[in-house]
Amino acid sequence: MKVQVCIIGGGPSGLLLSQLLHLQGIDTILLEKYSREHVLSRIRAGVIEHGFAKLMREAQCGERMDREGEIHHGFHIAHDSRLDYVDLHKHSGGNSVIVYGQTELTRDLYEARDKLGGNVVHNAEDVTPHDIASDAPYVTYRVGDKTVRVDCEFVIGADGFHGVSRKSIPTDVLREHEKIYPFGWLGILSRTKPVSPELIYVKHERGFALCSLRSQVLSRYYIQVPLSDKPEDWSDDAFWAELKRRLPEQVAAQLITGPSIEKSIAPLRSFVAEPMRYGRLFLAGDAAHIVPPTGARGLNSAASDIYYLYHALIDHYRKGDDSGLDGYSQKALARVWKAQRFSWWMTMLLHRFPDRLSYDERLQETEMSYLFSSETAQRLVAENYVGLPF
């Protein structure tokens, strides 16, 4: 089989790029390790930047997001028994974010691929890129006991943090930068009315918490827990009781609790792999970078990778211009590192660090008091949270 672009990974990054390229007449195949049901069973991101939303619309996948997603003009930070508000709309020159679950966004992308007759292969095992340093790369994969070879011109590694693509770059070429945080986020999903119409980030001496949502009848809550904890260590009652201890009294009193329909612990790490290109292999999304979810940058960092690759491949095929491809890694990393900075900053601001020094604590307090005493500081947060320009 021969295609122009072979995409490894059927998460939001791979799906969005395959849909955008297909609409431009560029021939792709997408190879996903698991079944569609498995991919859609994951509960992940919830906040969509305006740049990502624009790309979804350009990919003819934004209709349900615009209908069912919620526009949020700001978020709250609860700290020191106060509830302060970051007005994103005011401080970002009129931009906002859309709260719409990654699961639904991925479902919309799959349905759009089906509608266009996109070439999407599920349960593709042992996906392996070959000859990526040559001008004639190919990818092999297995379905059952049948091995298939896909000859292509470009390979896009959109296979997430644990995928095969990044590991295909020679170790003497790849540089990895990582920071592991000494705690995780225990998250639950519950069919309850959200405690607040907009997100509440909580800095508390017992630890971080976050009140988020997927709709007016589906709430998403998180609390910071030690890395040694497991989801089964936390009954629903224990989770709700701990969340209430961390919320301001007037918010805790409004909290509607209910059975969890999903409960999981996500470890927090900051990670960047450089370069994001090796020969004809291009990394995108979590395959190249991971952020702690505190700044809601994870999924959104993938958007600019996809935007750059989409335009670079169009320029290659339409004009024979490879400047976009040759400049991809440097351009993508410049925005990735800004998302890394913001995610690190929000994480340092809001979490309780087990081994913190008194100096660190006073610095955290100073950051928070500076944030809410300076419109400049709030503009800085707002421009990062709604999404820096591509």
Residues lying near ligand PHB in the complex (CB under 6 A): 45-47, 199, 212, 220, 293-296
Q: Looking at 3, 8, 61, 332, which residue binds ligand FAS (CB under 6 A)? A: 8
What does 220 interact with, of ligand PHB, ligand FAS, none (CB < 5 to 8 A by kind)?
A: ligand PHB
Given the complex with ligand PHB, which of 262 and 315 has the nearer CB atom?
262
What does 294 interact with, of ligand FAS, ligand PHB, none (CB < 5 to 8 A by kind)?
A: ligand PHB
User: Rounded to an integer, what distance in angstroms lies between the CA atom of residue 139 and that of residue 143?
Assistant: 13
User: Could you tell me the end-to-end alpha-carbon distance of the chain, in angstroms, rounded to an integer?
Assistant: 34
Given the complex with ligand PHB, which of 19 and 92 has the nearer CB atom?
92
Given the complex with ligand FAS, which of 61 and 296 has the nearer CB atom?
296
What does 74 interact with, of ligand FAS, ligand PHB, none (CB < 5 to 8 A by kind)?
A: none
Given the complex with ligand FAS, which of 274 and 286 has the nearer CB atom?
286
Name the H helices within 202-322. 236-246, 249-252, 298-319
- Nearest-CA neighbor of 211 among 267, 250, 181, 182? 250
Which residues, numbered 118-177, are part of the site for ligand FAS (CB under 6 A)?
Answer: 124, 127, 158-160, 162-164
Burial of 197 (0-12, 13-18, 19+ CB in 10 A): exposed
Q: Looking at 194, 293, 324, 387, which residue binds ligand FAS (CB under 6 A)? A: 293
Given the complex with ligand FAS, which of 42 and 90 has the nearer CB atom?
42
Given the complex with ligand PHB, which of 19 and 294 has the nearer CB atom?
294
To the nearest whole angstrom, how small is the minimum distance from the Cβ of residue 210 to ligand FAS? 9
Tokens encoding 121: 């292969």
34 binds ligand FAS (CB under 6 A): yes
Cis bond upstream, residue 275 (ω within 30) = yes
Given the complex with ligand FAS, which of 34 and 85 has the nearer CB atom?
34
CB 297 within 8 A of CB 291: yes
Size of interface with ligand FAS, in residues (CB under 6 A): 32
The three-class DSSP label of residue 10 is: coil
What is the longest distance spanned by two Cα atoms in the chain? 64
User: Strand ranges (DSSP E) for 275-349?
Assistant: 277-278, 281-283, 289-290
To the nearest whole angstrom, how small is the minimum distance from the Cβ of residue 292 to ligand FAS? 9
To the nearest whole angstrom, how small is the minimum distance from the Cβ of residue 190 to ligand FAS? 16
* Sequence-distant (≥ 6) Cβ neighbours of residue 60 within 8 angstroms: 19, 23, 112
Footprint on this chain of ligand FAS (rule: CB under 6 A): 8-14, 31-34, 39, 44-46, 102, 124, 127, 158-160, 162-164, 266, 285-286, 293, 296, 298-299, 302
